[in-house]
Structure formats: C-alpha cells, structure tokens
Chain A
Amino acid sequence: MVKYNMKQTIKKQFPIFKNQPNLIYLDNAATTQICAPSLNALTDYYLKYRANVHRGVYNIAEKATTAFENARISAAKFLNSEQNEIIFTSGSTAGLNFLASSLTPRLSHRENVVITKLEHHSNLVPWQQAAKHYGFELRFIDVTSDFRIDLESAKKLIDQNTKIVSFAMVSNVLGSIAPAREIISLAKNVKALTIVDAAQAAAHLPIDVKKLNCDFLVLSGHKVYGPNGIGILYGKKELLSESVEPISFGGEMVSEVTVAGATWATVPHRFEAGTPNIAGAIGLGAALEFIGKIGWKKIANHEKNLTKYALQKLSPLVKIFGPSLPTERAGVIAFTIPGIHPHDIADIINTKKIAARAGLHCAEPLHREFRLPGSVRISLGIYNNEKDIDALVSALKTAKKIFKV
C-alpha cells in the first residue's frame, strides 16, 4: 500500500501540477483537481472495457457492470451506508433538485421547508421553485454575527409543520461547519425529513450517515478529487423504497413494461434512468478509495494546520468573513481588503499564478445578509501547503501596494 506524505508525495498524485508546475491552486471549493487513481480508472474504462452496464453478457459488459457497482460499494464505504442507498447523479445540484422535485408535491400551504441563510444557490433555488408550485412556506435559519448557524433560530423555525430540513454541512463561503447533529435532531423531533448538502464537506471531513442519522445526503465528484459530471445522492433504504417516487423515466429504471404502464426496478436502479455516467462513477469510486487510503486523520490534521496557518498569516492583511477558530471551520476562507475590489484582488494574484475566486460564490443572499458586494475566497485542498499561503500573502501585499491601501 502506498503511504502518502502530505508534504511531499501527495502533490505528485495530481497530474495537473506536472503540466502546471507553478500553479498555486486555491479554488478547491469550486472544483478540486483530479487525482491520478481517479483519472486512471476513468481512462481505463474508456480504453479497455467500454460497454454499457446491466445489459450485455459479453466479457467487457460484465467487467463494466462490476466496476460500476464496485464504485457504488466504494461510495457506500465512504459514507458508511448500504450499497443500495447510493444513487449516482450528475452532482450535488442534481441530487438537490431531485429531492426538491420529488419530496414536495404533497406539501400544503400550511407546511414548511427549512433551510439556512448561508445556502449555496443549489440548496435554495430548487426549494424556492417548488414553493412557488406547491405553496408551502420556505423558512431560513439565521446566521449569527460570528458566522455560525444560529441554533436558537433553528429551534424557533423548525415546528410541527416542518416537513423537510435541508442544510449545507460546510458553508461554501464562510467555511463554517454546521452543527449537523443538532439540526438533524431538531428535525427528527418533529418527524421532518433531513437533507445534508455535503458538497463542500465531503473532501474535508469524514461523513458517517449512520452517525449523522440524516435521511438524504448529496455530494459532487469534482469536489472530492474525482471527475466532473458525477455525484452521489444517499437516501435511507426504507425511504427510497417506500416514500420517494422516481421522476425520471426510461431504460434501466424499470422492471416490467407493457403498453399500459410500467413497474419500477429495485432501489437504487429505479432512480438511475438511462445509461449512467459509467466512467464518472468508476472515477469517483477510485477518488473515494484514494481519500480512504490517505486516511481522515492525515487529511484533517493537514487541513486544520494549514487553515490555522492561513488564518494567522491573512488576519493582519485582510478582513476575514467566517469563524476565527480553525476548529469551527473548514479550509474555506472568504475575505475582503477595504479599498480594493475583490475582482481586482483576484486579478492581481492571478499574475502570480494563484487561482482564487472573487464574487458572490453562488451565495448571493448570504452576501446581502452581511452587506458585502462580493468577497475573495481561497479554499484549501490536500495538495496545498504553507508555501502556497506564503505566495498568497506576498501577492496580497503587492495588491495593497498597487492600490496604496
């Protein structure tokens, strides 16, 4: 078994840095770089055994089906779920849209869905749209002035009429880690369904759906060092079998079809209509195995130390939006420099090959809440190190010099 050293060998597992040796990639919240095992698994499928799954009896079709279902096993292991609780989607957005479309049609105007004010648009707009169609109320848990989810607000908003509670495990702007178990237990008390958006958490914190006791959870492959266009929707077996109806129909998801109608295949296949993203799933499985091989202890330690270092180095230079303690946050750091627009900061640091994002980060209501026109965001991954932060600090000093602030 390969032992990965976070300071030296880990970066070699990411082919992009061979082609972009000077790249300082600090936009991992937007997308992570793909790891070599994932890329290899993906190309292996295309080069050596491309075939559709669950259809052919010939050798490579069997091989493709086995690899695809093995990826499901890897995903189940990653989340500590059962294999048939894993549905492959195109990403977190698709998972959340599916849930918002599938779970809300029976809600009445007396009932409500609760989300938070820091949600990514993907966990906001699908609910807004469903609320417009079906008339239920959409409620928003407050964010405290020190950038945490306000549990007191959650206690007030989650009531007997709450049917669904959906929230991000880690904020894609503030980096705040949600008090997931507390929110889920508030929801369980009123028998509401719980959805965890783990898009920003999955590469950085261990997730155990049994311990969390959430009903559904979504994540994206491209944010866990895997390929684009693939994601996971986890759902509790009994809910997937009994309470959730498929909303996409076609091949693969059916059991028996006559001219009069059709019956559904077993879970999870009834939720995977059409030919799935086979290569993507296989690549995602390999990425999740890769994370597993490194081990959470190493990843968490590395990212916590680096986040702490970044907060220390950045604090004197910039105004940070997000919890100040590294223990309460993931390695997502949003900031502004008074007197320099975020877009200008991102542009200047880009001249030093530093990739960071400027803008609203798909969380416009959150920026409104804190009256920010926009912010710069850096987000760390397993291949980042202290040198990257030092380069950022030096580039930010240059920006301040140019703008004389």
Chain B
Amino acid sequence: MTDNIYQELILELARNPLNKSTPASFDNRLKAENRVCGDNLTFFISWSKSGAASEVAWDGDGCALSVSSASLFSEYLKGKTKSEIKKIKPAQILKLLKMKKLNPSRTRCALLPLESVQSL
C-alpha cells in the first residue's frame, strides 16, 4: 500500500510553503521541471565562507506534494555543504515527508526538489 498523500503536514505546507521566494541575490540557481504535469521548481542557494548553505529559497509552480517537498527540503539544506547535499538520497525526502512509499508518478513529484540540486 502506498501512503495517503493528503495528510495535514502536506496540506499545511501546500497552503503555506516555507522559503518560497525568488531572492535578489544568490550563488546558485538550480532548476528542475516535470514536463508531464508542467511543474517547475527553482532552488536558490547562497553559501557562507565556510562552504555551508546559508540561505536557501525556492520558487515555482507545483502540486501539493512537490511544494511541500520543496518546503521541507529547503529547510533541510540549510547548513549543509555542497558535498553533503550531493549525497542526499531519495529515501531522505520521503523521510522528511513522513512517508514510506509512493506510486511512481507521485514519487516524481516528491523528488523534483532533489532533482533540481543534482546539477550543483
């Protein structure tokens, strides 16, 4: 069985996403798109002198799942270095979303934020 997606956590973040903005300045701009449903996400990351992500924001259009995933992921990235970010596995995203299993098409939505930072 796959998880019920529409739990309170997801619905709340879909209504009130975290870190959703296009900042005036940033070091990296990272895009990901899902052409099937038209979703697009852009992550903006600024780095501190020590090499950790100091500011993380994202912007774009997406379903409740990709928006809440982007919200939680942006929080999770804060304080992490580039090499730490590159090592993040899909399972971590599901953990952030408090989910165990999703069907393939929704997995794509949940992992869209992770896809965007692959180009880092």
Residues on A lying within 8 angstroms of B by beta carbon are 340-344, 347-348, 358-360, 364, 367, 372-374, 402-404
Distance in angstroms between the alpha carbons of A344 and B105 in the assembled complex: 11
Extra inter-chain contacts (19) besides given A341-B61, A360-B37, A373-B38, CB under 8 Å:
A340-B64, A341-B14, A341-B39, A341-B62, A341-B63, A341-B64, A342-B38, A343-B37, A343-B109, A344-B5, A344-B6, A344-B14, A344-B63, A348-B6, A360-B36, A367-B38, A402-B11, A403-B11, A403-B14
A347/B106 in contact, CB under 8 A: yes
* Contact A358/B37 with A344-B64, A347-B106 known, Cβ cut-off 8 Å: yes
B61/A373 in contact, CB under 8 A: yes
Distance in angstroms between the alpha carbons of A32 and B65 in the assembled complex: 29
Which B residue's beta carbon lies closest to that of A402? B6
A374/B38 in contact, CB under 8 A: yes
A343/B63 in contact, CB under 8 A: yes
Distance in angstroms between the alpha carbons of A143 and B14 in the assembled complex: 33
> With a CB–CB cut-off of 8 A, which chain A residues contact B37?
342-343, 358-360, 374
Between A and B, how many residue pairs show CB distances below 8 Å? 51
User: Quick one: CB contact mask for B21-39 with A, threshold 8 Å, 1 for yes?
Assistant: 0000000000000011111
Between-chain CB contacts (< 8 Å), 26 pairs: A340-B64, A341-B14, A341-B61, A341-B62, A341-B64, A341-B67, A342-B37, A342-B38, A342-B63, A343-B37, A343-B39, A343-B65, A343-B109, A344-B6, A344-B14, A344-B63, A347-B106, A359-B37, A360-B35, A364-B35, A367-B38, A373-B38, A374-B39, A403-B64, A404-B11, A404-B15
Distance in angstroms between the alpha carbons of A146 and B65 in the assembled complex: 32
> With a CB–CB cut-off of 8 A, which chain A residues contact B6?
344, 348, 402
> With a CB–CB cut-off of 8 A, which chain B residues contact A359?
36-38
> With a CB–CB cut-off of 8 A, which chain B residues contact A373?
38-39, 61
> With a CB–CB cut-off of 8 A, which chain B residues contact A344?
5-6, 14, 63-65
Interface residue ranges of B1-50 to A (CB < 8 Å): 5-6, 11, 14-15, 35-39
